[in-house]
C-alpha cells in the first residue's frame, strides 16, 4: 500500500477539481428523451481530455434509434497511450440522464454542493462516476508517466434508453474488440465497496386489446377495450405475479427484492387521447376500441427468454377462451439477455483488492437489478472482462434530489487509480 501513497495523495489533492468537474457535467442537461445536448457534453469532455494528453474521437451513431439532425447521438472516445506496449483499461460512462420528475428541493441542473454532497439529475447516475474516472486517470498519469499499455475514457449516449446509440454502436464498430481493449470498468452507482458482475435480463413488450367503438350511453352496442385490458391486468395479478415472486436466482442481485423475477406496468393508454394542458374541452361519449400497456419484465439467468415470452402469450391466449370478443396484439419492443462476468476475471480481482486497500474492508460482489451497457460489451464486443464499479447509492438513481457524495467519489477514484497502477503500472496486487 505504501507504493500507492503518492497516487492516493494526488487524488486527494484534486478534490476541488473533482467537485468542479462533476458540477460542470451536471449543468449540461443531457435529458433522454429526447437526447439533448449530447454534442455539448462531448465537446466539454473533448476539451478536458485533450488538455490531459488524450487523443479524442467524436463519433455520431448515425441511424440508431432516436438519432436525428435535431438530436444527434454523439459519443466521445479518448485514448492515452503509455510509453510501451501493454493492456488497455477502458472507463465507460453514459452521458445521458432521465427526466427530472417532481419532488425536487434543489435545482436539478444546479450542481449545488451542500454538506459534502453534489445535487442534480445524473449526479450519481452517472456523471459523478464519469468525473471520478477522469480524476483517477489523470492522477495515475501524473504519478506514473512511464506506464505501459493505454487508458481509454468514453462518454456514450442513450444508456437510459438501451444504449443503441452509444455503447452498442461503438461495439459494432470494434471499439470493444478484446484485441483492442482488455479491461472495462463502468462507473455505475453500485456503491463504492461493491464490484458489480452483471445484470438481470429484460423483456419489454406492448400489449394492445381491441374493442368496438360505440356511443357511451349504449356501451352494450360496442366492446370496451379497456375492460378487456382490465382482465389482462387481473390475470397478471392472480397468475403471473405470484409465479414470478416464487422464482429466485443464484445471481447476487441487489436489493433482495430483485432476486426474484419482476414486472413493471410501464404505461397504460386507452380510449381518447388525453387533452393538452390547459384544454378545457369535455370528453366525447365513446366506448374505447383500443387499450395499450407497455410491460417491463426483468428475468433471471435461470429463466429462458422463450419461456418469458411464452407465459405472457399463454395468459393472453387463455383469456381468448374465457372472454367473448377478446382480441389482442403483442409487440416486442426490446430484449436484453442477462450478463455475468466470472468472479475470477482479472478486472474483478484487481478492483476487489483495491477496494479492500482503500476502504479497509472486503469487497462485496453483486449484480444489478436493471441492465446497463455491459450487455453490449459482452454480447456485441465479445469482451467478458467487464464490471460496473463506481460511487453513488443505487437507490438514488432516477429519484428527486439525486446526489453524489464527494468523499465517495474520492474513495472510488482511489480504487480506480489503484487498479490502473496494478494493471498498467506494474504494482503488485
Please tell me the distance from the alpha carbon of residue 77 to that of residue 60, in angstroms, as a whole number.
11
Instruction: Decide: pTM greater than 0.85.
Output: yes
Please tell me the distance from the alpha carbon of residue 181 to that of residue 174, in angstroms, as a whole number.
10
Which CATH code of 1.10.260.40, 3.40.50.280, 3.40.630.10, 1.10.600.10 fits the domain covering 7-199+338-425? 3.40.630.10
The pLDDT value recorded for residue 332 is: 98
Question: Do the beta carbons of residue 189 and residue 124 sit within 8 Å?
Answer: yes
CATH annotation of 201-336: 3.30.70.360
The pLDDT value recorded for residue 275 is: 86
The pLDDT value recorded for residue 426 is: 77
The pLDDT value recorded for residue 107 is: 98
The pLDDT value recorded for residue 429 is: 62
Q: In what order do the strands lie in the sheet with 201-210?
A: 262-270, 290-299, 201-210, 327-336
Average pLDDT, the chain: 96
The pLDDT value recorded for residue 428 is: 66
Cα separation of the two ends of the chain: 9
217-239 confidence digits (pLDDT tens):
999 999 999 999 999 999 999 99
153-167 confidence digits (pLDDT tens):
999 999 999 999 999
Please tell me the distance from the alpha carbon of residue 387 to that of residue 88, in angstroms, as a whole number.
15
Domain ranges of the chain: 7-199+338-425, 201-336
pLDDT-flagged residues of the chain (< 50) = none
Strand partners, 148: 84
DSSP labels for 73-93? -EEEEEEEE-SEEEEEEEEEE
Do the domains 7-199+338-425 and 201-336 sit in the same CATH topology, yes or no?
A: no
Neighbours of 366 (CB within 10 A): 22
Amino acid at each position: 500500500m505504501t507504493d500507492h501513497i503518492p497516487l492516493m495523495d494526488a487524488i486527494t489533492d484534486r478534490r476541488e477539481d473533482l467537485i468542479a468537474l462533476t458540477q460542470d457535467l451536471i449543468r449540461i442537461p443531457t435529458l433522454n428523451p429526447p437526447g439533448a445536448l449530447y454534442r455539448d457534453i462531448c465537446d466539454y469532455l473533448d476539451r478536458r481530455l485533450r488538455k490531459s494528453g488524450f487523443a479524442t474521437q467524436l463519433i455520431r451513431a448515425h441511424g440508431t434509434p432516436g438519432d436525428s439532425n435535431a438530436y444527434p447521438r454523439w459519443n466521445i472516445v479518448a485514448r492515452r497511450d503509455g510509453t510501451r506496449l501493454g493492456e488497455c483499461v477502458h472507463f465507460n460512462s453514459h452521458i445521458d440522464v432521465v427526466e427530472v420528475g417532481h419532488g425536487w428541493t434543489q435545482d436539478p441542473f444546479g450542481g449545488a454542493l451542500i454538506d459534502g454532497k453534489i445535487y442534480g439529475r445524473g449526479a450519481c447516475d452517472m456523471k459523478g462516476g464519469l468525473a471520478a474516472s477522469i480524476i483517477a486517470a489523470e492522477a495515475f498519469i501524473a504519478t506514473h508517466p512511464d506506464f505501459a499499455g493505454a487508458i481509454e475514457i468514453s462518454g456514450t449516449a442513450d444508456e437510459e434508453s438501451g444504449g443503441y446509440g452509444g455503447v452498442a454502436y461503438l461495439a459494432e464498430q470494434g471499439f470493444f474488440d478484446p484485441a483492442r481493449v482488455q479491461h472495462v470498468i463502468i462507473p455505475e452507482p453500485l456503491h463504492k465497496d461493491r464490484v458489480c458482475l452483471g445484470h438481470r435480463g429484460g423483456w419489454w413488450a406492448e400489449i394492445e386489446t381491441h374493442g368496438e367503438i360505440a356511443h357511451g350511453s349504449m356501451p352494450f352496442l360496442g366492446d370496451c377495450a379497456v375492460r378487456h385490458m382490465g382482465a389482462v391486468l387481473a390475470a397478471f395479478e392472480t397468475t403471473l405475479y405470484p409465479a414470478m415472486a416464487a422464482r429466485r436466482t443464484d445471481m447476487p442481485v441487489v436489493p433482495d427484492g430483485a432476486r426474484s423475477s419482476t414486472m413493471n406496468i410501464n404505461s397504460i393508454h386507452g380510449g381518447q387521447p388525453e387533452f393538452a394542458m390547459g384544454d378545457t374541452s369535455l370528453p366525447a361519449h365513446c366506448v374505447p376500441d383500443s387499450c395499450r400497456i407497455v410491460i417491463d419484465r426483468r428475468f433471471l439467468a435461470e429463466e429462458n427468454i422463450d419461456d418469458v415470452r411464452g407465459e405472457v402469450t399463454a395468459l393472453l391466449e387463455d383469456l381468448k377462451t374465457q372472454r367473448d370478443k377478446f382480441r389482442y396484439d403483442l409487440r416486442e419492443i426490446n430484449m436484453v439477455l442477462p450478463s455475468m462476468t466470472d468472479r475470477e476475471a482479472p478486472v474483478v480481482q484487481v478492483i476487489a483488492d483495491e477496494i479492500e486497500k482503500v476502504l479497509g474492508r472486503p469487497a462485496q460482489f453483486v449484480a444489478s437489478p436493471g441492465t446497463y451497457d455491459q450487455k453490449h460489451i459482452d454480447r456485441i464486443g465479445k469482451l467478458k472482462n467487464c464490471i460496473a464499479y463506481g460511487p453513488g447509492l443505487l437507490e438514488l438513481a432516477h429519484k428527486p434530489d439525486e446526489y453524489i457524495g464527494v468523499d465517495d467519489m474520492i474513495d472510488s477514484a482511489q480504487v480506480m487509480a489503484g487498479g490502473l497502477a496494478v494493471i498498467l503500472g506494474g504494482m503488485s496486487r
